[in-house]
Structure 1
Amino acid sequence: MTIKITRKTGMMGYATKVKLFADGKEITKLSSGETYYLDIDKDTVELRVQQFTSKGKPITVKDHSHLTLQTNPMLNYLFIAMIVLIFMGALTSYFVTILALIPAIAALIVSLNNSFHIAVDNQPNKNDVLAGER
């Protein structure tokens, strides 16, 4: 029985690998764009990811699932807001630059608890046969 997990996190966190945990045990480290096939001997497994202190929420998936590991979109928006405020502050006043601390702090808080999202591309029924998927 196999679960396919692909990391598509884009530029955020690109430089380092993400640890993948199954039922609380580290099973591999994924680079950006890498795919891992997890062989399990039961119907469901709880998966979660971690990069340094940044964690993703655990998700329980069924056998034969195809998953995509993504960066939380909120982090991308907060990062863009921070950069825009820094540039605006450089052109206008230091007060606007200080406002850039708001999305920076928000991004730090979000990244500690929910920096990654595991999206289920498909979660077939137990009776589905996916022979030859690899």
Structure 2
Amino acid sequence: GVVFSTSKKYDYPPLVSNVGWLGLLSVLITLLLLAAGAPLLTIAYLFWNNLFRRDNFTYFCQILLLCCTAGTISMCFDSSEQERFDAFEFIVLILLPTRSMLFMISAYDSIAMYLAIEPQSLCFYVIAASKRKSEFSTEA
């Protein structure tokens, strides 16, 4: 993506909308896959060596998180056009913490919780420091 967006041969194409639509599509596919597993939730069960728990509450929280992520990505389309912010990495930096949050919601063990929080905090630091001219970004 970086090589393509900085290529003089392709006249520096903006990739924000393409990566945004791809990210929105991946969130919707994840939402559909999660909804397809909903009939299996008659009882709570543990999987992956008792690291993650799956029940109705985790299902509801994951659906809510994916809907909020889809809304956030759709709002990024307008803000990238208004602010002329052509960094397509911003969408990827939204999707990676979302994946970590999905793991964090289902975590049943403290190790799984820690492993879910750590990549999430790293991406949030990068997002906070993305505006180089802001005083708050230099603090992050």
Higher strand share: 1
The structure with the greater share of residues assigned to helix is 2
Which structure would you say has the larger RCO, counting Cα contacts within 8 Å and 6 or more residues apart? 1
Q: Could you state the TM-score of these two structures normalised by the residue count of structure 2?
A: 0.33
Give the alignment's TM-score, normalised by structure 1.
0.34
